[in-house]
């Protein structure tokens, strides 16, 4: 891996700014080396090690000898995710479907929040839905006034949807008005992220096939860490967040041109 090139912009920054830039490098490169960071930021290795300890304490990196790696991620089993935080996901879904207009074609990714979105879609709008999730397709088949296209290919049990080269090729041959990619993580600096490389490629193909992208994110997905970039933030037009989402975080996304939509508060 090429050594990080010192930049004048990295010098004389506050510790908090330095940690943000270290995290950005970690996301881009997958690993950072303390000695190289010390040279780039013109600080001691002790200062860098302190930065890495603080980032590790927040779960944003994994300390290793001489530097740090992205943290290992263990996904909650799909069956468990389907029953977790249902009221929160339903509130997000109600706000998300308010962006849908009559006669539109929607691309809906797999994911438990997206299942809630599919369930919240109103009838009578003459919608066409393209999805890689059998659960979403079956849900909409049981309702009236939906034209449903199921993307075919290999089903990932952990994701609950179809991914892989065949699925990507099929998505590239359609056109949608709105897409709802499943969200693993999203941040202002680098956009939308995924945990699985094939899943990230499928999400990217969805976004490229759509006129507008709606990212729906629970609080834990905002400014979170994942391993594979899907698209930069400029490709996201709408972000639907929980009522409890931090004001500063909402403002940061708005300043980058994203329309932020806040869901209603959830009782309890």
Q: Residue 235 corresponds to which tokens in the numbers above?
A: 């490709």
Q: Which of 173, 176, 178, 195 is nearest to 186 (CA)?
A: 195
Q: Is the pLDDT of residue 268 over 90?
A: no
- pLDDT tens profile 121-156: 998 999 999 999 999 999 999 888 899 999 999 898
More confident residue, 114 or 80: 114
What is the mean pLDDT of the segment spanning 88-114?
A: 96
Q: How far apart are CA 105 and CA 41, in angstroms?
A: 48
Are 126 and 104 within 8 A, CB to CB? no
Q: pLDDT at position 168, please? A: 96
How far, in Å, CA of 32 to CA of 30, rounded? 7
Res 89 pLDDT > 50: yes
Q: What is the pTM of this model?
A: 0.73
The half-sphere exposure of 252 on its side-chain side, counting CA atoms within 13 A, is 15
The H-assigned helical ranges of the chain are: 15-29, 34-41, 45-57, 78-83, 86-97, 112-120, 134-141, 165-171, 197-208, 247-255
CA distance 50 to 46: 6
**How is residue 213 written in tokens?**
């992208």
Reported confidence tier of residue 166, pLDDT bands at 50, 70, 90? very high
Radius of gyration of the chain (CA): 20
Domain borders along the chain are: 8-69, 78-262
Helix (H, G, I), strand (E, B) or coil at 218: coil
Distance in angstroms (rounded) separating the CA atoms of residues 125 and 137: 17
pLDDT tier, 164 (very low <50, low <70, confident <90, very high otherwise): very high
Beta bridge partners of 217: 241
CATH topology of domain 8-69: Arc Repressor Mutant, subunit A (1.10.10)
Confidence of residue 181 (pLDDT cuts 50, 70, 90): very high
pLDDT, tens digit, 9 for 90 and up, residues 215-247: 999 988 886 767 788 999 999 999 999 999 989
pLDDT for res 72: 54
Topology of domain 78-262 in CATH is Rossmann fold (3.40.50)
Q: How far apart are CA 53 and CA 84, in angstroms?
A: 31
């Amino acid at each position: 891996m090429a050594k990080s090139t010192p930049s004048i912009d990295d010098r004389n920054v506050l510790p908090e700014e330095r940690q943000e830039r270290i995290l950005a490098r970690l996301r881009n490169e997958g690993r950072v080396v303390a000695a190289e960071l010390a040279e780039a930021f013109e600080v001691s290795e002790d200062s860098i090690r302190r930065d890495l300890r603080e980032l590790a304490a927040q779960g944003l990196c994994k300390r290793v000898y001489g530097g740090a790696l992205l943290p290992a991620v263990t996904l909650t089993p799909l069956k468990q995710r389907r029953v977790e935080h249902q009221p929160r996901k339903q509130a997000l879904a109600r706000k998300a479907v308010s962006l849908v207009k009559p006669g539109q074609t929607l691309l809906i990714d797999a994911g438990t929040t997206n299942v809630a979105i599919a369930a919240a879609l109103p009838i009578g709008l003459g919608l066409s839905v393209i999805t890689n999730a059998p659960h979403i397709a079956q849900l909409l088949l049981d309702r009236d006034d939906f034209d449903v296209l199921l993307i075919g290919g290999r089903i990932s049990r952990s994701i609950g949807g179809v991914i892989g080269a065949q699925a990507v090729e099929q998505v590239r041959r359609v056109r949608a008005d709105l897409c709802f990619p499943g969200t693993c993580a999203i941040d202002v600096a680098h956009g939308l992220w995924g945990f699985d490389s094939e899943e990230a490629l499928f999400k990217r193909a969805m976004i490229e096939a759509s006129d507008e992208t709606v990212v729906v994110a629970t609080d834990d997905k905002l400014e979170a860490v994942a391993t594979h970039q899907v698209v930069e933030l400029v490709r996201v037009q709408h972000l639907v967040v929980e009522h409890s989402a931090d004001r500063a975080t909402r403002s940061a996304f708005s300043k980058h041109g994203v329309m932020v939509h806040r869901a209603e508060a959830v009782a309890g």
